[in-house]
C-alpha cells in the first residue's frame, strides 16, 4: 500500500495494488488530521510523563528519600561494587536497577519460554471462553 496526498481523493487516501483506490482505506481529511493530532498528543504526553520530576508512584504512601548507608566493610565482589554505587551515586544505582530488572525480566521470560515450549503444550493459541 502506498500513502499519497492525491488530488481529489483527499490527503491520506490509500491506494491498493495497481494504484486503484481501495475504498475501505480512504480516510477523510478530518480523520487523517485527527490521527496526526493524536500522535502529537501521545508524544507530548510521553514527554510530560518522562520529565515531570514529581515522584508519582503510590500517592497514598509518598516515599521520602531514605538516609541509609550500606555497610560495605562486610561486602566483596559484585556486592561491594553495588554497595559502593548505592552509597556514592544513587542515580547510577537507579539506572542499573532498571537495566537489571529489564534484563532479568526479559531473560527469565525467554528462558521460561524455551523450557515451556519443551512441555509439548500449545502456547501460542487459546480459545476465548467467557
Partner 1 sequence: MDVSAWYMMYMPISGIEIFWPGLVLIGFAVGVIGGFFGMGGAWLVTPGLNILGFPMAFAIGTDIAHIAGKSMIATIRHAKFGNVDVRLGLAMLVFTMIGIEIGARIVIYLEAIGLVGPVVRWIYVGFLACIFLMVLTDILKKRKAEREGIKEGDKLKGGLDFSSTLHNIKIPPMMHFPQAGIYCSLWLPAIVGFVTGVLAGFLGIGGGMLRMPALIYFVGCPTHVAVGTDLFEVMISGLYGAFTYTLKGRIELVAVVVMLCGAAVGAQIGTVATKYARGMGIRFWFMVCILVCMISIILKQYGFPLIAGVLILGVVALVCAIIMGIMFKGAAAELRQKRATDI
Place of cell 561491594: 80
Nearer to partner 1, 22 or 62 (CB): 62
- Which one of residues 4, 6, 15, 82 is an interface residue with partner 1 (CB under 8 A)? 82
CA distances 23 to 3, 18, 28, 117, Å, are 13, 14, 11, 43
CA–CA distance, 119 with 48 (Å, rounded to integer): 45
Q: Is 59 in the site for partner 1 (CB under 8 A)?
A: yes
**Which of 3, 16, 88, 112: binder of partner 1 (CB under 8 A)?**
112
Q: Is 57 strand, coil or helix?
A: coil
- Regarding 86 and contact with partner 1 (CB under 8 A), the answer is yes
Q: C-beta of 48: minimal distance to partner 1 in Å?
A: 7
Amino acid at each position: 500500500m502506498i500513502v499519497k496526498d492525491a488530488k481529489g481523493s483527499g490527503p491520506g487516501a490509500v491506494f491498493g495494488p495497481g494504484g486503484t483506490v481501495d475504498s475501505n482505506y480512504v480516510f477523510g481529511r478530518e480523520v487523517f488530521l485527527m490521527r496526526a493530532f493524536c500522535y502529537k498528543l501521545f508524544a507530548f504526553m510521553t514527554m510530560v510523563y518522562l520529565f515531570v520530576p514529581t515522584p508519582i508512584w503510590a500517592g497514598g504512601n509518598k516515599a521520602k528519600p531514605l538516609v541509609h548507608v550500606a555497610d560495605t566493610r562486610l561486602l566483596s565482589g559484585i556486592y561491594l561494587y553495588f554497595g559502593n554505587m548505592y552509597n556514592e551515586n544513587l542515580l547510577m544505582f537507579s539506572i542499573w536497577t532498571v537495566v537489571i530488572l529489564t534484563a532479568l525480566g526479559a531473560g527469565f521470560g525467554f528462558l521460561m519460554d524455551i523450557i515451556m515450549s519443551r512441555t509439548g503444550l500449545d502456547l501460542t493459541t487459546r480459545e476465548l471462553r467467557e
